[in-house]
Amino acid sequence: MHCIDGVGGIMEGRNKALKFIEDVTINAEEVQKRVLSEILSRSANAEYLQRNGLNGCTDRETFKKVMPVVSYEDLKPDIERIANGDTSAILCSQPISEFLTSSGTSAGERKLMPTIEEELGRRSLLYSLLMPVMSQFVPGSDKGKGMYFLFIKSEAKTQGGLVARPVLTSYYKSSHFKDRRSDLYNNYTSPNETILCLDSYQSMYSQLLCGLCQSKEVLRVGAVFASGFIRAIQFLEKHWSLLCSDIRTGTVDSKITDASVREAVLKILKPNYKLADFIEAECSKGSWKGIITRLWPNTKYIDVIVTGTMSQYIPTLDYYSNSLPLVCTMYASSECYFGINLNPLSKPSKVSYTLIPTMAYFEFLPVNRKNGLTGSISEPASLNDNEKQELVDLVNVKLGQDYELVVTTYAGLYRYRVGDILRVAGFKNKAPQFNFICRKNVVLSIDSDKTDEVELQNAVQNAANQLLPFEASLTEYTSYADTSSIPGHYVLYWEIKVNDATLIPPSVFEDCCFAVEESLNSVYRQGRVWDKSIGPLEIKIVENGTFDKLMDFALNQGASINQYKTPRCVKYVPIVELLNSRVISSYFSPKCPRWTQGHKQWSTQN
């Protein structure tokens, strides 16, 4: 398929991409200045900028002086106007093309991030840098195919008629992805039709089928997040026998009813009894250790994000892959795509992302104890003037210091707090490279769900009310994201005060599990109901005195008695072990919580 010209084209594209990275990182300061002035001049007439008194100024000094540093809640009234159909230039002078639904929670629902058409180009640009960087470290990775499990999710429409959907759904459905240049960097085992199939079973099945029948050509495997990739392997564990029979006969199982998917798969699938026998033999061996290297023997690395909360999946990935390199290529969000990993073979714990200065105008709020960003309930929502002055520009961040990321985007976000905490790990020319430290306040996460402390507290409180008729009450609790089995699930450790525990029937605790799930945000509930990426929530009742022991443990480790607070989420293995050693009984949520496609304020599309 690729002649010399093709390879020449690839080399040219690769050199261009690498030169681009060099240029924008050397000139990071100038690029940032230009980006800000471009954003401000283009949207000079936008109501939001006028309202804040920018008066058409495009310089950094005035911008920093007059513009507030904001969070989603501050923008919600403006965003709601756009969602309800006001097409005037509210945040941005360019027309809002759609809303991207972000998983960071806003009072239990997805956030709606307005975006504009040209942002797709910026996202494409970031993607186009990934393989040129990779090819410097893994020779030959530009040959062969990538087996990537990519999925779309359902869409909704706002009252004003704008589509609302996750950023990746928007990207995969765009011509930037669908009509991407067919070169060796973009050569995936999954045909577009299988990625663009909304039915998650059919999409997963057909992508695995195509991945298996092209197994010899596969050089890299992956998904966006580690959780998605592991779900694919787990799907294979359940369905390999059906997949093998399709490979043996060259036909597609009747459960795959989507005509375009069937047609696309049949273009690839040829009867191959030898391959089917081989896969069957491997999958029916007792152990699934190293299954990835066994079934896809030429795989050089796994391309998945395992930084942040996804690091909990590293041991499982190591097990399935016999410790193939785990490669985290990029750092992005619905608000903006931020940066890439220029050293993709670095260990997950060492991964740093270089923010690409053309993507947005970046500022950094130093994180210190005063604005106590890691997990405090009482963090003030808005910054005072002094704190506003503390914001640092991209090229001025300090090595080793932690910052909260603040962005100003072409799509109409100005000094917007993304909610991520980053640490400066080094520099590429003038552009800093950041370790992803954590998402502010998020305590529990299994897949794309992000549950913060306040939300957990409310959910637990709602549920614990069910104990009152039994003269019992909740005295302490903490939580744990258990990913030892797939799908992972939330575990709550409860210590309760009760006169006679035998009077409480197990169904009461099961109802409590369910009540917590019902109170959690829609992204969690979607994970439980639709994506099936989160298992039933579990409550473990622990012996009286367990939380005192937990405190003793923390004090022994050097915590101060005055400042000790029960952690609302635990991760440290000895603490989890301590809790588990004192469990009296455990209960699971008996059914799925309520969840409907779309958003309660939007009408669903069909």
For ligand AMP, the binding residues (CB under 6 A) are: 102-104, 167, 305, 307-308, 328, 331-334, 418, 420, 436, 439
Smaller CB distance to ligand AMP: residue 102 or 135? 102
Which of 269, 340 has the CB closer to ligand AMP? 340
Please report how close the Cβ of residue 18 comes to ligand AMP at its closest, in angstroms: 21
Q: Closer to ligand AMP at the Cβ: 215 or 311? A: 311
CA atoms of 362 and 553, how far apart (whole Å): 41
Q: Between residues 33 and 173, which has the closer beta carbon with respect to ligand AMP?
A: 173
By CB atoms closer than 10 A (0-12, 13-18, 19+), residue 553 is middle
In 10 A of CB 161, how many CB atoms?
Answer: 11
CA angle 150, 152, 158 (to 5 degrees): 155
Coil vs helix vs strand at 155: coil
Residue 351 C-beta: closest distance to ligand AMP, Å: 8
Q: Which amino acid, 241?
A: S
Minimum distance between the CB of residue 480 and ligand AMP, rounded to whole angstroms? 20
Closest distance of CB 226 from ligand AMP, Å: 10
Nearer to ligand AMP, 101 or 589 (CB): 101
- With respect to ligand AMP, which residue has the nearer C-beta, 35 or 407? 407
| 3-state helix, strand and coil shares in percent for the chain, rounded to the nearest 5 | 40, 20, 35
Tokens linked to 467: 């104990």
- Least distance (Å) from ligand AMP to the CB of residue 221? 18
Residue 382 CB, nearest distance to ligand AMP (Å)?
20
Helices marked H in 501-604 — which ranges?
A: 506-519, 522-529, 546-556, 573-580
Pick 307 or 433: Cβ nearer ligand AMP: 307
Shortest distance in whole angstroms from residue 354 CB to ligand AMP: 12
Of 202 and 312, nearer to ligand AMP (C-beta) is 312
Angle at 422 between CA 417 and CA 423, to 5 degrees: 145
Task: Provide the residue type at 48 as one letter.
Answer: Y
Q: Smallest distance from the beta carbon of 501 to ligand AMP, in angstroms?
A: 40
Shortest Å distance, C-beta 554 to ligand AMP: 27
Distance CA 10, CA 306 (A): 28
Judge contact between 516 and 472, C-beta under 8 A: no
d(CA 131, CA 129): 6
CB 487 within 8 A of CB 532: yes
Identify the CA nearest to 223 among candidates 213, 215, 231: 231
Count CA atoms closer than 13 A to 435's CA, side-chain side.
19
- Residue 147 makes CB contacts below 8 A (sequence gap 6+) with 188, 189, 190, 207, 211, 214, 218, 220, 221, 222, 296
Q: CB under 8 Å to 153, separation ≥6 — which residues?
A: 165, 166, 169, 198, 531
Taking a C-beta distance cutoff of 8 angstroms, is the pair 590, 71 a contact? no
| Choice between 103 and 202, CB closer to ligand AMP | 103
Q: Closest separation between CB of residue 158 and ligand AMP, Å?
A: 18
Residue closer to ligand AMP (CB basis): 275 or 367: 367
Tell me how far apart the alpha carbons of residues 505 and 523 are, in angstroms, rounded to a whole number.
31
Residue nearest to ligand AMP (CB): 308
Nearest to ligand AMP of 435, 519 (CB atom): 435
Cα separation, 17 vs 129, whole angstroms: 6
Residue 236 or 534 with smaller CB distance to ligand AMP: 534
Could you tell me the smallest distance in angstroms from the CB atom of residue 48 to ligand AMP?
Answer: 21
Output Rg (C-alpha) for the chain, integer angstroms.
Answer: 25
End-to-end CA distance of the chain: 40
Q: Which is nearer to ligand AMP, 102 or 433 (CB)?
A: 102
Question: 555: helix, coil or strand?
Answer: helix
Residues, the chain: 606
Smallest distance from the beta carbon of 227 to ligand AMP, in angstroms?
Answer: 12
Q: Could you tell me where the beta strands, DSSP code E, fall in 241-328?
A: 301-305, 326-327
In this complex, which beta carbon is closest to ligand AMP, that of residue 69 or of residue 474? 69
| Rounded Cα–Cα distance for residues 308 and 528 (Å) | 21
> Could you tell me the sign of the dihedral formed by the alpha carbons of 354, 357, 358, 359, in that order?
positive
For residue 322, the minimal CB distance to ligand AMP (Å) is: 24
Minimum separation from the CB atom of position 586 to ligand AMP (A) = 30
- If the CB atoms of residues 112 and 204 are measured against ligand AMP, the closer one turns out to be 112
Tokens 């195509």 sit at which residue? 210
- 219 vs 137, 268, 378, CA distance in Å? 14, 18, 48
CB of 267 to ligand AMP, least distance (A): 32
Question: Rounded to whole angstroms, what are the CA distances from 566 to 51, 429, 463, 550, 552?
Answer: 43, 43, 19, 8, 11
